[in-house]
Amino acid sequence: MLYWAVVCLIVAIIAGVLGFGGIAGTAAGIAKVLFFIFVILLVISLVANAMKGRGP
């Protein structure tokens, strides 16, 4: 998921440089949403592993 967030961010940067503002804004928004979903799932995974008693 982090891979797709980075891909969308790169697309947004390229679109912004080329002057496609609408596409750049949309791609940046998608990248932001995917990044936050990744962070939330990471935190849930770390908490679940801590509750099981295993190390990372």
C-alpha to C-alpha distances, 6 to 10, 12, 31, 41, 55, nearest whole angstrom: 6, 10, 7, 17, 28
Q: Report which listed range, 8-12, 41-45, 49-53, is most confident.
A: 41-45
Specify if 14 maps to a domain: yes
Print the domain residue range for 20: 2-50
* Per-residue model confidence as pLDDT tens digits over 25-43: 888 888 889 889 999 999 9
The reported pLDDT for the residue numbered 43 is 94
The pTM of this model reads: 0.71
How many domains does the structure of the chain reveal? Answer: 1
Specify if 56 maps to a domain: no
- Rounded to whole angstroms, how far apart are CA atoms 25 and 54? 41
